[in-house]
């Protein structure tokens, strides 16, 4: 009995799967959180999450066919005690993928940190005299810098409450509070703090002056030969102008460098009439006559000349951080997907399954899933205990497990990964003509590939950004890791008996049930207000991922000719974890940044409806159309058996035993699929 439960020849393969899935579990739930921790914003993180799976398909798409091509003629040990060529090739390439995965994900720790604070809006003043016009913006205290641009910047400056006065070098008059204000004016407070704090705007409202009162010789603002007259009843004057950026350091010097002065590009002036000059300077002292105006909504005015001129505190180089992270992730995601496809092929080969589907693949995956259940919360605990470098331990654990798995593959030369001799030498049936099988089952393979892509899309729609949802529900890194544990623990017994369950239920019925359970999972997430509902949704993952994955492995194992075993196992990886993951990340990333959690709930509701529709359509197509038409025909008895019966004992007395080629003549493709 113990021999049936634990196959000693497969212990090393179980250990490799354990290390591989443990390494994936240590890093996968923390990748979305790590992107935010290095300073990427959510839009950049969504872009990376959507693009990298498309590049990751290069791994299984290249290494699967490569293994199949190079393994031809190396199938059997020929009775020798040494390892065969095909087994060694599969072990070495899989080990290489694990090592490169450890290397590239560790390089993500070297991505430089960047920090971008929320934009803040300094005060803006406008003054014009006989020499020209000036727009003054309080200097950004982040580095004491002014906004600069090449050449001229054209736009509109909205002004109000224009009045005459005497300008001085200390800007005392320009900075004085206005004695008259527009009906509704947005006043920005002085900008003296670099703290991440936004002061609420103050709305100053005054009743308009009596209609009988009017201003004689109101302020004139002349620019490029065109003069605009400010009238108090208009309350708002849009002045078109072009500004020159201040030079360093001469034009950037007002009193103590607290203000940035932007001069108008074209000729401008404001002439003060003599009678108004007497009003503002009755004593006849020294006076530099000028006009000042209150600037209205300098950063929000349509076509404003100061649009995007807010002060931004930026630490590091956001562009360099994004591109370095993006490029490293592009290469990093290739190797675990390639390793998953090769390990799937290794399970199929090592268990020596037959055409009847009585292999031991599910038990190998069940043992590996233990690593996926144990280590994610432990990595989350380590992340919580090290707030300065929270993701150092998870990434190092990933590298450690990958290297241990690679070491086992390299050291254990007797791991049963050699394709059996009869896979390459069969007398009859589709195995001798694989292209015949490809033509016969190509349509079914393509259809199942599309189904797995859709299931992968629904899986990624949940898991791609689930850690963000956990944090928004006041969760921690430990809670993010526990989401994988909740999905993996129920999967262990399910995978242990997976092949019997799948064979009893039927492959297509497993897929139909998966779509139904995805509807339930999305419904739970759409209406979840606490972390508990997230865990409930993850507990159902045993029906939407674990059983789906082993079903796909078994299905493609039979649909694809054995000469292309590695390619056949690469197909579900490409469909589910590459194409499906990409589409799901795009769809679930279509949320508004302002109310991300509420917008995510709307996406969850839509995907839940999609899952239910897919379940109904698949159920109707399969049970009403495909199953009746594609039912397994009755297999006639072998010809030589009929000949023996027809002889009715008239043979020469010799007996030749019937040759059996591991059921290669069985009804391929009709095993409750």
DSSP state of 142: T
Tell me how crowded residue 268 is: count the other CB atoms within 10 A of its CB: 23
Q: What are residue 57's phi and psi, to 5 degrees?
A: -65, -15
Determine the Cα–Cα distance for residues 541 and 488; give it in Å rounded to an integer.
Answer: 8
pLDDT computed for residue 537 by the predictor: 93
Determine the Cα–Cα distance for residues 156 and 151; give it in Å rounded to an integer.
Answer: 17
Containing H/E element for 625? none
pLDDT computed for residue 646 by the predictor: 54
Helix, coil or strand: residue 460? helix
Q: Spell out a b/e string for 416-432, using b for 16 or more CB atoms within 10 Å of the CB, else e.
A: bbbbeebbbebeebbbb
- Assigned token pair, 366: 């069940």
Nearest to residue 379, comparing CAs of 399, 360, 398? Answer: 398
Determine the Cα–Cα distance for residues 128 and 117; give it in Å rounded to an integer.
Answer: 34
Determine the Cα–Cα distance for residues 484 and 56; give it in Å rounded to an integer.
Answer: 22
Determine the Cα–Cα distance for residues 77 and 80; give it in Å rounded to an integer.
Answer: 5
pLDDT computed for residue 670 by the predictor: 42
- Do residues 322 and 43 lie in contact, with contact meaning Cβ atoms separated by under 8 Å? no
Q: Residues, the chain, total?
A: 673
Determine the Cα–Cα distance for residues 368 and 39; give it in Å rounded to an integer.
Answer: 34
- The string of DSSP codes covering 527-539 is T--SHHHHHHHHH
- Do residues 33 and 415 lie in contact, with contact meaning Cβ atoms separated by under 8 Å? no
Determine the Cα–Cα distance for residues 558 and 564; give it in Å rounded to an integer.
Answer: 11
For residue 179, whether the previous peptide bond is cis, meaning omega lies within 30 degrees of 0, is no
pLDDT computed for residue 453 by the predictor: 97
- Do residues 218 and 234 lie in contact, with contact meaning Cβ atoms separated by under 8 Å? no
Helix, coil or strand: residue 516? helix
Determine the Cα–Cα distance for residues 107 and 115; give it in Å rounded to an integer.
Answer: 20
pLDDT computed for residue 271 by the predictor: 82
Containing H/E element for 165? strand 152-167
Nearest to residue 352, comparing CAs of 82, 13, 2, 1? Answer: 13
Determine the Cα–Cα distance for residues 667 and 673; give it in Å rounded to an integer.
Answer: 12
Q: What are residue 386's phi and psi, to 5 degrees?
A: -125, 75
- Give 464's Cβ-side CA count (13 Å radius): 32
DSSP state of 307: T
Radius of gyration of the chain (CA): 36
Contacts of 193 (CB under 8 A, 6+ apart): 141
- Assigned token pair, 399: 């590298």
Q: At what angle do helices 547-559 and 565-573 cross, to 10 degrees?
A: 140
- Do residues 186 and 296 lie in contact, with contact meaning Cβ atoms separated by under 8 Å? yes
Q: What are residue 292's phi and psi, to 5 degrees?
A: -120, 150
pLDDT along the chain (673 residues), means of 10: 63 95 96 94 93 96 92 50 67 96 97 83 86 84 70 87 84 78 39 35 44 67 84 81 73 58 84 80 81 88 84 84 97 97 93 57 92 95 90 96 97 79 44 50 88 96 92 88 94 91 90 96 90 92 93 90 90 97 92 71 92 95 80 57 52 45 39 43
Helix, coil or strand: residue 234? coil
What is the pTM (predicted TM-score) of this model?
Answer: 0.74
Determine the Cα–Cα distance for residues 342 and 27; give it in Å rounded to an integer.
Answer: 20
Query: What's the Cα-to-Cα distance from 75 to each of 259, 422, 428, rounded to whole Å?
Result: 78, 9, 18
DSSP state of 111: S
Sign of CA dihedral 291, 296, 299, 303: negative
The label of the residue with tokens 């043979």 reads 651
- Assigned token pair, 436: 């015949």
pLDDT computed for residue 643 by the predictor: 59
The label of the residue with tokens 């292209």 reads 435
Determine the Cα–Cα distance for residues 277 and 496; give it in Å rounded to an integer.
Answer: 95
pLDDT computed for residue 410 by the predictor: 94
Determine the Cα–Cα distance for residues 329 and 508; give it in Å rounded to an integer.
Answer: 35
């Amino acid at each position: 009995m113990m021999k049936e439960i634990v196959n000693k020849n497969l212990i090393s393969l179980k250990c490799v799967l354990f290390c591989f899935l443990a390494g994936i579990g240590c890093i996968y739930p923390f990748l979305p959180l790590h992107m935010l921790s290095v300073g990427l914003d959510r839009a950049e993180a969504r872009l990376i999450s959507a693009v990298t799976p498309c590049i990751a398909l290069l791994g299984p798409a290249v290494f699967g066919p490569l293994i199949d091509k190079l393994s031809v003629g190396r199938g059997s040990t020929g009775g020798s005690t040494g390892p065969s060529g095909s087994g060694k090739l599969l072990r070495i390439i899989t080990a290489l993928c694990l090592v490169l995965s450890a290397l590239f994900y560790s390089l993500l720790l070297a991505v430089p940190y960047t920090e971008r604070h929320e934009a803040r809006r300094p005060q803006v003043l406008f003054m014009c005299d006989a020499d020209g016009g000036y727009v003054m913006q309080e200097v950004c205290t982040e580095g004491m810098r002014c906004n600069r641009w090449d050449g001229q910047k054209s736009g509109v400056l909205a002004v109000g409450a224009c009045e005459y006065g005497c300008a001085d070098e200390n800007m005392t008059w320009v900075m004085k509070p206005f004695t008259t204000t527009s009906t509704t004016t947005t006043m920005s407070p002085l900008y003296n703090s670099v703290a991440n704090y936004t002061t609420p705007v103050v709305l100053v409202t005054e009743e308009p002056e009596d209609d009988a009162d009017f201003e004689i010789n109101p302020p004139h603002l002349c620019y490029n030969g065109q003069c605009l007259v400010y009238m108090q009843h208009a309350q708002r004057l849009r002045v078109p102008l072009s500004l020159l950026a201040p030079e360093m350091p001469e034009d950037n010097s007002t009193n103590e460098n607290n203000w940035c002065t932007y001069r108008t590009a074209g000729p401008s002036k404001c002439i003060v009439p003599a009678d108004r000059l007497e009003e503002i300077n009755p004593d006849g002292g020294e006076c530099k006559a000028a006009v000042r105006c209150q600037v209205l909504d300098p950063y929000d005015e349509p076509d404003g000349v100061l649009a995007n001129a807010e002060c931004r505190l930026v630490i590091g180089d956001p562009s360099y951080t994004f591109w370095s992270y993006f490029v490293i992730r592009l290469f990093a995601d290739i190797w675990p997907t390639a390793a998953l496809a090769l390990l799937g092929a290794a399970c199929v080969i090592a268990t020596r399954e037959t055409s009847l589907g009585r292999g031991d693949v599910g038990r190998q995956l069940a043992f590996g899933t233990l690593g996926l259940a144990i280590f994610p919360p432990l990595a989350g605990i380590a992340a919580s205990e090290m707030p300065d470098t929270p993701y150092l331990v998870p990434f190092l654990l990933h590298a450690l497990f990958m290297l241990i798995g690679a070491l086992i593959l390299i050291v254990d030369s007797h791991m049963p990964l050699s394709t059996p001799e009869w896979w390459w030498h069969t007398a009859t049936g589709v195995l001798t003509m694989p292209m015949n099988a490809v033509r016969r089952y190509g349509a079914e393979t393509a259809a199942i590939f599309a189904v797995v892509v859709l299931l992968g899309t629904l899986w990624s729609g949940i898991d791609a950004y689930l850690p963000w949802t956990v944090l928004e529900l006041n969760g921690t890194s430990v809670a993010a890791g526990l989401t994988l544990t909740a999905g993996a623990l129920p999967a262990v017994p399910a995978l242990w008996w997976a092949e019997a369950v799948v064979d009893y239920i039927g492959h297509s019925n497993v897929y139909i049930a998966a779509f139904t359970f995805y509807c339930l999972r999305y419904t739970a997430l759409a209406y979840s207000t606490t972390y508990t509902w997230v865990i409930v949704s993850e507990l159902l993952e045993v029906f939407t991922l674990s059983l789906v994955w082993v079903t796909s492995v078994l299905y493609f194992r039979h649909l694809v000719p054995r000469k292309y075993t590695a390619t056949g196992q690469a197909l579900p990886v490409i469909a589910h974890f590459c194409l499906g993951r990409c589409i799901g990340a795009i769809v679930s990333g279509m949320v508004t940044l302002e109310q991300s959690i509420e917008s995510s709930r709307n996406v969850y509701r839509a995907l839940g409806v999609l899952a239910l529709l897919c379940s109904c359509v698949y159920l109707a197509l399969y049970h009403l159309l495909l199953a009746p038409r594609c039912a397994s025909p009755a297999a006639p008895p072998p010809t030589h058996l009929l000949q023996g019966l027809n002889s009715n004992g008239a043979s020469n007395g010799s007996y030749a035993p019937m040759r059996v080629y591991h059921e290669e003549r069985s009804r391929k493709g009709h095993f409750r699929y």
